[in-house]
Amino acid sequence: MRMMPGELFHWLAAIGAGFLLGSVMFSEIIPRRVLHIDIEAVSDDGNPGSGNVFLHCGPFWGFVCLLLDMAKGFLPVFCALHRLGPNHLLFCAVLAAPVLGHAIAPFNHFHGGKCIATAFGELIALLPVTWIVLVLAGVYILLSTVMKIPSTRVRSIAAFSLFGIIAAALLVRRSQLPIAIGCVLISTVAVVRHRRPADGKTPPRDA
């Protein structure tokens, strides 16, 4: 089916809004503006993520940043899901946009986070169309409690790699190809960001 110009505009707007919202680094902005703490400077890994906010700013601000990082993944996906639907192939780009914005972070000198909270926010937004978020949560629990992988970097790489494979297999079988591709893109961005240490520092904890 041929896409009308107005429909294309709506899709591009959803993708662009998701990328821009994902680019807002709440875990860097809030500690710096409110608490006068440079979270990238005080953390061992230089990662502007909610995990470091918990560690260096306390649980209250860590929880605030965690919710905001999840919300910036949730909101654009939720809006696109209910206004545009999940069946067009461009929906995969809507899923990829917030985590890509968070990873690239053009408003933070291209020093982004590791996408975990934002990815969970996006997947929660897909409920109840798909419960695929439970796969990512389940894989994390498995790797943390059963296999007991101590390194959060290795655990996150393994978790997102397994999630991408499992999600693609499950969603393709259910004829949810755009969401399947989107999950693979989310996993790819997260794995790439976890494989690259920040500014030569030690590998990241979480974000």
Residue 153 confidence (pLDDT): 84
Structure tokens belonging to residue 130: 């798909």
| pLDDT, tens only, 34-63 | 999 999 999 878 888 898 999 999 999 999
pLDDT for 111: 87
Residues in the chain: 207
Look up residue 198 and give its DSSP letter: S
Distance between CA atoms of 57 and 76, rounded to whole angstroms? 28
For the four alpha carbons of 145, 146, 150 and 152, in that order, the dihedral sign comes to: negative
CA distance 171 to 183: 9
Instruction: Provide the pLDDT confidence category of residue 76 given band limits of 50, 70 and 90.
Output: very high
78-137 pLDDT per residue, tens = 999 999 999 999 999 999 999 999 999 998 889 888 899 999 999 999 999 999 999 999
pLDDT score recorded for residue 179:
97
Distance CA 51, CA 134 (A): 21
pLDDT, tens digit, 9 for 90 and up, residues 148-198 = 887 888 889 999 999 999 999 999 999 999 999 999 999 999 999 887 655
User: For residues 194 and 198, what is the distance between their CA atoms, to the nearest angstrom?
Assistant: 9
Task: Give the residue among 117, 102, 123 at the shortest CA–CA distance from 179.
Answer: 123
CA 14, distance to chain mean position in Å, is: 16
Query: What are the residue boundaries of the structural domains of the chain, listed by start?
Result: 5-195
The structure tokens listed for 31 are 């500690």
Report how far residue 161's alpha carbon sits from residue 158's, in angstroms, rounded to the nearest whole number.
5
